[in-house]
Amino acid sequence: MESKLVFLGSGTPRIDPNRKGPCQAIVHSQKAYLVDCGLGSVHQTALAYQQGITELKPTSLQHLFLTHLHSDHCLGLPGLILAPWVVGRTDPIHIFGPPGTHQLVNNLLAAFKEDIFVRTSGLESASDQQLKPIVSEIKPGIVFKNADLRVEAFLVHHGNWPHAFGFSFFLQNKKIVFSGDTNPCEGIELAAKGADVLVHEAYALSAAQPEPRPGGENWPKYMKDFHTSTHEVGMLAARAEAKHLIVNHLLCKSETAEDVIAEIKSIGFNGQITVANDLDIFLL
């Protein structure tokens, strides 16, 4: 069975009805491994399941890797924890995330304690054994490994976040790298080397202009410190000799996908480039 990369959500913090919050899935050896959990993630897994990706059945999801704890990357976490549990999940989900993930999960469970109490003590007879996630707070290095897949975490620089990670998935003879949110930094430079697929965030050049709102004059500085421009990601992908660059978490104004690809190509990257959309599927 072929492995797949599925974009469940390709959006940014901006509220776009056509793009759910950031969430990707590696589907390999009849299992799914989620990277990030933006708003709407669990509903997107249900939609992908309906479209034939059986590994993304919501009640079967077992592994989630969080790059960092910015809200747009984990707003879907209450849904992922609770919704499949309500309808019969048989095993708790294992969450791998930065320091602070334990506190986030515990606070979410506390916020829904009345719901949990009613479901476990009333006629639903739900068991809390499948509810509480298994949380592993990660450091750089191998964070998960089984017989045919290895996941390595690496540090990236995302503004003033003290702990932000990218992930490299090694499966069969393929290397799939997720940048997470980052500006150009040593972590992603090293991890991207020789990637078969590099999934990288980006912003179009127009998106780094001052904005007409309170504090908007600081927007160019914010973008440079927290994120990666199309020119920068193109140069990085070229240096890494990545075979396929997939642009995700794209911030732009009126640019089309073709415009974004042209900005990336203008600095000399000649590999394959795709701008991700929700529910895009790539064979690995």
Coil/strand/helix, residue 127: coil
All domains in the chain, ordered by first residue: 4-283 (3.60.15.10)
**pLDDT value at position 11?**
97
Q: Express each pLDDT in 214-246 by its tens digit.
A: 877 999 999 999 999 999 999 999 999 999 999
Residue type, 39: L
Return d(Cα 268, Cα 3) in angstroms, integer: 30
CA atoms of 65 and 133, how far apart (whole Å): 12
Task: Tell me what the mean pLDDT of segment 74-101 comes to.
Answer: 96
pTM: 0.97
> What is residue 55's DSSP assignment?
G
Instruction: Give the integer Cα–Cα distance in Å for 160 and 178.
Output: 20
Q: Which 8-state DSSP code applies to residue 21?
A: S
Percent of the chain with pLDDT over 90: 90
**pLDDT per residue as tens digits for the range 30-78:** 999 999 999 999 999 999 999 999 999 999 999 999 999 999 999 999 9
What are the backbone dihedrals phi and psi of residue 142, each rounded to the nearest 5 degrees, phi first? -70, 125
- Comparing C-alpha atoms, which of 138, 163, 158, 176 is closest to residue 33? 176
Q: What is the band of 129 on the pLDDT scale with cuts at 50, 70, 90? A: confident
Per-residue DSSP letter, 16: B
Sheet holding 149-155, edge to edge: 141-146, 149-155, 165-171, 174-178, 197-203, 244-251, 272-275
Calculate the average pLDDT of the chain: 96
148-161: average pLDDT: 97
* Tens digits of residue pLDDT in 185-217: 999 999 999 999 999 999 999 998 888 788 779
**Predicted confidence (pLDDT) at residue 1 exceeds the cutoff of 70:** no
Question: What pLDDT band is residue 172 in, cutting at 50, 70 and 90?
Answer: confident
User: Strand, coil or helix: what is 271?
Assistant: coil
Interatomic CA distance for residues 95 and 65, integer angstroms: 6
Q: Average of pLDDT values for 100-123?
A: 96
Q: What is the mean pLDDT of residues 135-141?
A: 98
Beta strands in the chain (DSSP E): 4-9, 23-28, 31-35, 63-65, 94-97, 134-137, 141-146, 149-155, 165-171, 174-178, 197-203, 244-251, 272-275, 281-283
Confidence of residue 4 (pLDDT cuts 50, 70, 90): very high
Give residue 60's pLDDT: 96
pLDDT given at position 216: 79
